[in-house]
Amino acid sequence: MPWLAVTLELDAQHVDALSDELLAAGALSVTVSDAYADTPAERPQFAEPGASGETRWERACVNALFNATADVGASVTAALSALGLDSAMRYDVARVEDQDWVRATQSEFKPLHVTPRLWVVPTWHTPPDPAAINLVIDPGLAFGTGSHATTRQCLSWLDANLQGGEAMLDYGCGSGILAIAAVKLGAGHATGVDIDEAALLAANANAVQNQAAVDFVSTSHPLADAYDIVLANILANPLKVLAPLLAHATRRGGRAVLSGILADQAADVIDVYREWFDIGVAQQDEGWALLAGVRR
């Protein structure tokens, strides 16, 4: 059965309310994205933890999915009118054909060659290099499949810098891919921390699948203060808020690895972490910067 996808662009301050009204008017689902994505005006976050209201997207695209038989014109007009918005606002309607969504999704995720000896391989693919270190990770509820530049940067850093035997903390572990990779690359022990219980469940399942002994715990769990490597692939503002905690968790002489930072945000994050670390940009990829530093 086909569907109809309706896309509107408007000020971000109305996004939440319009999403609710569209659902009330019959939309099956509503998604939101930055209207300025892939342009110089793109913003890296939307109501990010630790951020002020001014960091919300200026304008947003709202995409609502309806049954093919729905009167989308009436639904959109009703939603806009309920909020006192211009009911003549321009919107686009596109027909979305039915397909095997599982097969289509799987086709988008192929084995990823991260470094000469490190691959990320979904379960439905045979590892291209059985002799390599193959991280078996499927896309799911938690961030981290290796496809995003920030995850690749962290994997590359771990492969290049782990000496063997280190105690490593992955703060904001998502799928657990980085903690699992650390163990497979020779870390003596790895701990993954996340606020999302669904992510912790996914991370534990991924660790079992990869035969990697990793402790995954909630952010409410007290942290040790003697990790050799503290890695956090989150976003710039949460990283700044978490700086004292992550610094406390890093032993003197240990290293912090910070990712999820747009290149033009790197200087601000570095300024915060300089209180505890000798730190700078270690990698850049697709406009993202990875910072690495040594705890004083």
Is the Cβ–Cβ distance between 15 and 35 less than 8 Å?
Answer: no
Distance, in Å, from the CA atom of 225 to the CA atom of 278, rounded to the nearest integer, reads 18
Eight-class DSSP state of 10: E
The answer to whether the CB of 91 falls within 8 A of the CB of 33 is no
Q: Yes or no: say if 2 and 98 are a contact pair by the CB < 8 Å rule.
A: yes
Q: What is the pLDDT of residue 103?
A: 57
Report domain extents, the chain. Answer: 3-98, 149-295
pLDDT in tens, 55-82: 567 788 999 999 999 999 999 999 999 9
Instruction: Fill in the DSSP letter of residue 276.
Output: T
Q: Is the pLDDT of residue 217 over 80?
A: yes
pLDDT of residue 204 exceeding 70: yes
Question: Which one is predicted more confidently, 205 or 1?
Answer: 205
Contacts of 180 (CB under 8 A, 6+ apart): 135, 137, 190, 203, 206, 207, 210, 212, 214
Assign 46 a pLDDT band (cuts: 50, 70, 90): very low
Q: What integer pLDDT is reported at residue 47 of this predicted model?
A: 46
Most confident of 84-93, 215-224, 269-278: 269-278
Q: Which of 66-75, 90-99, 285-294 has the lowest mean pLDDT?
A: 90-99
Q: Which CATH number fits the domain 3-98, given the four candidates 3.40.309.10, 3.30.70.260, 3.40.250.10, 1.10.510.10?
A: 3.30.70.260
- Residue 11: which pLDDT band, with cuts at 50, 70 and 90? confident
Please report where in the chains the tokens 């991260």 appear, as a residue.
Answer: 114
Does residue 49 surpass a pLDDT of 70?
no
Mean pLDDT lowest for which of 15-19, 163-167, 291-295? 15-19
26-30, 48-52, 69-73, 278-282, range with greatest mean pLDDT: 278-282
* Mean pLDDT of the region 31-59: 65
Tell the burial category of 46 from Cβ atoms under 10 Å away from its Cβ (0-12, 13-18, 19+): middle
| Residue 96 · residue 5 · CB < 8 Å | yes
pLDDT of residue 45: 52
- Per-residue confidence at 104, pLDDT binned at 50, 70, 90? low
54 HSE (CA, 13 A, CB side): 0
Q: Which long-range contacts (CB under 8 A, 24 or more apart) does 206-209 make?
A: 206/136, 206/137, 206/175, 206/176, 206/177, 206/180, 207/176, 207/179, 207/180, 209/123, 209/136
CATH number of 149-295: 3.40.50.150
pLDDT at 50 exceeding the cut of 60: no
Chain mean pLDDT for the chain:
89
The mean pLDDT of 95-104, rounded to a whole number, is: 64
Q: Which residue has the higher pLDDT, 172 or 147?
A: 172
Mean of the pLDDT values across residues 224-238? 93
pLDDT score of 272? 98
Calpha distance 176→219 (Å, rounded): 14
Predicted confidence (pLDDT) per residue in 112-170, tens digit: 999 999 999 998 889 999 999 999 998 765 677 777 899 999 999 999 999 999 999 99
pLDDT attached to residue 129: 96
